[in-house]
Chain A
Amino acid sequence: MTGQPATEWSGIGSAGTGANVPMLEVRDLHVQIAARHGTVRAVDGVSLEVGTGEALGLVGESGSGKSMTLRAILGVLPSEGKITSGQVILDGVDLVPLSNSDLNHIRGPKMSMIFQEPMSALNPVMRVGHQIAEGPRVHLGYSKAKAAERALELMRRVGIPDPERRFRAYPHEFSGGMRQRVMIAIALSCDPEIILCDEPTTALDVTIQDQILRLLARLCAESGVSLIFVTHDLPVVAQLCQRIAVMYGGQLVETGDVREVLLDPRHPYTLGLVRSAPDVDYVRDSLVPIPGSPPSLVTPPPGCRFHPRCAFAEEDCRVLPTPLRVLPGGRSTACLHYERCQEAVAADRAAAADRTRS
């Protein structure tokens, strides 16, 4: 596995050149978790593609299976969890059948992860510089001095001021934003092709979140590294990602270009998310919550999993399976009656226009 030109850190210009070839492909992934009250089908037939240098946002509520999808891709499921079928193809290699020790050669050099809580993901008794240098030492065979040099360079790259002094600091001496920068430096340390981010900015303040999002966007553009960005925060996805995949009850319900999906949803769940989130630029008289609660993943409802909470549900929604269907324009939806969403969005727009006029 040699570095292909498209994945080299060749600076501006490399981004997007290989966007047609998926860097990572997930095919019909199923993850089950054994629990006391039955088998939880946490991920139920998810298929995804991430191109080179592309940022994909994976959104959904807690319990929608977005984090489990991420963990399954990285091969770090909890001990009760298992991939029951499906493939995770990275650069032409299926990762699912690989053993843990084989995966260790992939995690780090080809694929890495940024977690939500940097304080619990970092080693509290190890100097920050050494934590960043550890990856290159182990995976790339760097000497101690060379790895340290690499760590310093990475610290500079992610915007840690005064890296020479900070190299010898411990995680507790850093602020939340700086710790997340350290996490990003570690994730980048072996020059991976794809970085999986599990709500990396949820624990941060909005000004620091803004800094981290800009940093990730810059790294993506500069080095052609791909991102999967898991979050429940739609505006964050709008800010950073090109494509979005919305998950509900362990399945994908809508995918497509970020702007198209968020501004003109074609699935009632996406529409519900957009309507229920307060938006700074668009003040409404009252927010429209999604009624009901998320489905049980032990005994999911038949047909469309969203139908018990859906205002547009019809008889066929309760029976027919709802796989993702491709719509004109390259986006896809799992909704059988997506035209209803289109009408609802148009009605919302008309109402908003009325209000601004009056």
Chain B
Amino acid sequence: MSGGPLDPAGPAGSSFAVGQVGPAGNGPLLAAKDVAVYFAVGSALSARIRHEQRMLHAVDGVDLDLARGEALALVGESGSGKSTLALALAGLRPTDRGEITFDGRRLPARRSRADQRRIQMVFQDPYSSLNPRLTVGGMLRELLKVHHIVPNGAAETYSKELLTLVGLGEDALRAYPRQFSGGQRQRVAIARALALRPQILVADEPVSALDVSVQATILNLLRDLRGELGLTLLLISHNLAVVRHLCDRVAVMYLGRIVEVAPTERLFADPRHPYTKGLLAAIPKLADNPAAGGDGAAHSGPAVAGDPPSALRIPAGCRFRTRCPIAQPVCEIEDPALTVATGDPAHQAACHFAFAPAPPAAVQPPAAFPEAAVSPGPATVRPPRPRKE
């Protein structure tokens, strides 16, 4: 996947490489400052009767920088607001608070076409994100026409180059999405996103709907494209193995907030927020098998106890304290802000004890959760077993 179309100096408008737009500032390419997105829940009637609208705080004050050319991962459980944040950054969902700047310039609530082009998305489900009634060629033609990317006559050549770039044959142009496998569809979705020559590609769980052996091809493609085109990548994923494979930096989200940001290897080697620690401990690993090896899963407590609280009732103080193994009285009162590690400005965490010399010991078991609390074994009473037929 190298050659003509990738030549950044390609004159005839056939280059997909990211050019410099605007002043080449040293600041972040994309920056979110105190961004919040709320959803109104419940009926309008109940809101009028109660004189208040219940709001779900999906994204609740996020600061995030995306440096030019980097690959940043956004990880967290479902409901942590990572997809909503991605939509807000891509301009597909209005924000309720905060500002988003691109290359130092504040993006308005309603973005211009040019701004829309700069950030493109690849969605999770390639089965529902492609129009079933359009051929791949038709889809790309429409896009190129609306955005005036190339002269109308050159649309087909350009589309073919795009498809080659993502590893599809030229005959894909005349095919409908239903004729492709999941992996091929995701390639089409990537081609569609790249057609507008974006500077930032936002990929929302791009491989989680695909089979394992196909996932690898898409991950390799994203990695190659990044290298070849100089794309900036924001990858949203719940799969930390994928993240570690692809990204330079990781931001961990919990209940609408970023709780830890660090360079990938740093985060995996030395996580500081108790949630990140739990998240990493919860990943099943190929090489470690407690079931076969004696002491293990059956007897130790879970990595993170309990369920995440509802985004409608976010706990006061630190939002992780209800599940936190080291929660202290102060955590109920003070909401910890993202603080920078001493000596390592790239590593930030939002925990009172993240960079303390010695984190406090657990004062109480978090929210008495049965896995840890109930002792297994003969203590369990069981009614006598009746005869089965």
Contact = CB atoms under 8 A, between A and B. Distances in A.
A61 B213 contact: yes
A27 interface: no
Contact of A238 (B214, B288, B386): B288
Given A109-B388, A175-B307, A281 B286 contact: yes
A272 B383 contact: no
15 contacts: A149-B383, A207-B278, A207-B279, A209-B282, A211-B302, A221-B298, A239-B285, A239-B290, A259-B289, A278-B219, A278-B244, A280-B280, A281-B285, A289-B213, A290-B213
A156 interface: yes
A178 B367 CA distance: 15
Contacts of B300: 214
Given A1-B388, A11-B377, A283 B245 contact: yes
A114 interface: no
A55 B78 contact: no
Interface string A47-80: 0000000010000011000000000000000000
Contacts of B290: 217, 239
Contacts of A217: 290-291, 296-298
B323 to A, nearest CB: 9
Interface string B182-220: 000000000000000000000000000001111111011
Nearest to B302: A211
Contacts of B382: 9, 153
B292 A259 contact: yes
A105 B284 contact: no
Interface string A1-45: 111000011111000000000000000000000000000000000
Contacts of B377: 11-12, 222
A161 interface: yes
A139 B388 contact: yes
Interface in A225-276: 232-236, 238-242, 257-259, 262-263, 272-276
A82 B203 CA distance: 42
Interface of A: 1-3, 8-12, 55, 61-62, 105, 109-110, 139-142, 146, 149-150, 153, 156-157, 159-161, 175-178, 191, 205-211, 213-215, 217-218, 220-222, 232-236, 238-242, 257-259, 262-263, 272-284, 286-290, 293
Contacts, number: 210
B286 to A, nearest CB: 5
A273 B283 contact: no
B287 A214 contact: no
Given A159-B369, A208-B307, 7 more contacts: A9-B385, A55-B291, A210-B281, A235-B283, A238-B286, A238-B288, A259-B292
Nearest to A214: B297
B284 A276 contact: no
B369 A161 contact: yes
Nearest to A11: B378
Interface string B63-84: 0000000000000011000000
Contact of A214 (B244, B302, B367): B302
B284 A222 contact: no
Contacts of B371: 159, 211, 214-215, 218
A278 B388 contact: no
B282 A207 contact: yes
Contact of A105 (B215, B297, B389): B389
Contact of B383 (A61, A150, A239, A274): A150
B213 A272 contact: yes
B376 interface: yes
Contacts of A109: 388
A135 B239 CA distance: 36
B223 A280 contact: no
A285 B385 CA distance: 56
Nearest to A277: B212
A298 B299 CA distance: 46
Contacts of B286: 234-235, 238, 262-263, 274, 277, 279, 281-282
B380 interface: yes
B242 interface: yes
Of the listed residues B238, B278, B286, B381, the one surrounded by the most CB atoms of chain A closer than 10 A to its CB is: B286
Contacts of A235: 241, 283-286
Given A8-B385, A238-B285, A177 B220 contact: no
Contacts of B268: 280
